[in-house]
Structure 1
Amino acid sequence: MDPLPERRSIRYDGYDYRMAGYYALTICARDKAHLFGSLLPDEPLQLSELGELVVAEVEAIPRHHPTIRLDAWVLMPNHLHLILVLTRNRAVGLNQAVGAFKSRCYGRWRAARLAAGQPAPPSCWQRNYYERIIRNPAELDAQRRYLLENPSRWNNT
C-alpha cells in the first residue's frame, strides 16, 4: 500500500509561530456551513448554540493561555476572524492555541448535542486555519479594519 502523500503546509517556511507578535487568523466552519448563526444586513449575528460556545471560548483564550491577548475578533456565520497577540517568545505556539481552542469548542458542542439525543458530526471546523503575521502598525490597522468591517460586507455565501 502506498503511503499517504504529505500535506503541504500553508505556514511561512522557516518562521517560528511561537514568537511574540500579532497574528491575524481566519478559522472556517466545516464545509463552510453556516454553523455559528445567521447575519442579516445592519443587524448583529444571531448566534446559534454553537456560535454561543465559540464566543465563550474566544473570550476564554487568555485564561487558557495567559501569554496570549485578544486584540480584535468577529464571528461570522461560517468563519471566525481574530487578531491574537503572543506576548512572550516561545511560551505557546499559535498552532497549539488554535488547536486547543477548536478542540474545546467542538468538545462542548458535541457533548451538548449528544446529551440532547442529536447526532454530532465528526467536527465543526475545517481542517487547518489561515494566518497572517502582522509585521507593522499599518498592517495591524488594515487587519483591524478588515475584520471589523467584515459583517457589513457579508453577502450570505
Structure 2
Amino acid sequence: MELTSRKPNRLKNYIYNRNGSYFITMCVKDRHEMLWKPIGARIAHPHEQTLSDIGEVVNTAIQNIPTIYSNVRVDKYVIMPNHLHMIIKLYSHGDDGGRLIIAPTISSIIRLLKSYVSKEIGFSIWQKSFHDHIIRNEQEYRDICDYIDQNPQKWQEDCYFTKSSDHS
C-alpha cells in the first residue's frame, strides 16, 4: 500500500509570525458535526444556530487567545457545525520594558487552541493541520469579514456541508 503525501498548507519560506491578518479555517475530523446543529427550517429564523457543549468549549478557547497572547487579536470568527473560520491579527509591540515582544506563530496559536479543546472535552476532534490565507489588503479583509458573517446563512452551499447536515 502506497502512502499518499500531504500537500503542504503553508507558504514555503514565509514566517508565520509576521505582523498582519490571517484567515484561518479549522475542520473537525471526518466532517463530524459536533460544534452546533441547525435548529431547523423556521420561517422567521431559518439559519439560527446554537452551539453544542463542545462548540461552547471552542468558543471559550477562541475568546482566550488574546488573553494568552498579548500581541494577538481575533478580529472575527464563526463556529460552524464541523469547522470554524477566524481572522487572527498578529502584531509586535514593545511594552515590556522597551523590549520588542514578538508575536507567536499562527501554528503555535492553533496548536494551543486545539490542545485546549481536546483537554477540556477529553478527546481530539480536529482534522490534522489547518488552512490559512494571508490577508493582503483592506478589500480582501472586508470580503473575508463578509464571508464569515454570511457563512451560517449559506451553510447548505458551504464546501464543508454534507448531506447528513440537512436537517430541514
Q: What TM-score, normalized by structure 2, do the two folds share?
A: 0.79
Deviation by residue 1:81-136 (Cα, 9 ceiling, x = unmatched)? 000000128420000000001100111011xxxxxxxxx4xx20010100100010
Give the SS at the match of 2:25: strand
Report the residue type matching 2:103 in the other structure. Answer: A
Q: Partner residue of 1:65?
A: 69
Give the structure 2 partner of residue 138 of structure 1.
Answer: 139
Greater Cα radius of gyration, structure 1 or 2: 2
Q: Which residue of 2 aligns with 1:54?
A: 58
Is 2:104 the partner of 1:92?
yes
Which residue in 2 is equivalent to 1:117?
Answer: none
The match for 1:129 is: 130
Identity, in percent, stands at: 31
Retained in 1: the 8 A contact 2:72–2:103?
no
Contact 1:45–1:77 (8 Å) recurs in 2: no
Q: How does 1:95-106 map to 2 (within 5 A)?
A: 95-106=107-118
**Runs of 4+, deviation exceeding 4 Å:** 4-7
- 8 Å contact kept, 1:20–1:90: no
* Richer in helix (by share): 1
Distance, in Å, in 1 between the alignment partners of 2:130 and 2:6 is 14
The worse-fitting range, judged by mean Cα deviation, of 86-95 and 44-53 is: 86-95
Give, in whole Å, the separation in 2 of the partners of 1:21 and 1:77: 28
Question: Contact conserved, 2:72 with 2:89, CA < 8 A, in 1?
Answer: yes
AA aligned opposite 1:91: A
Q: How does 1:1-157 map to 2 (within 5 A)?
A: 7-39=6-38, 40=40, 42=45, 43-88=47-92, 90-110=102-122, 120=123, 123-155=124-156, 157=162
**Is there any run of 5+ residues in structure 1 with no aligned partner, and where?**
111-119
Residue 152 of structure 1: SS of its match in structure 2?
Answer: coil
Partner-residue secondary structure (3-state), 1:51: helix
How many residue pairs get aligned? The number is 143
TM-score by length of 1: 0.84
Moved more, 36-45 or 51-60: 36-45
Q: Provide structure 2 residue ranges, at least 5 long, that are not aligned to the other structure.
A: 93-100, 163-168
User: In the TM superposition, what is the alpha-carbon distance from 1:27 to its structure 2 partner?
Assistant: 0.4
Equivalent position amino acid for 1:49 in 2: D
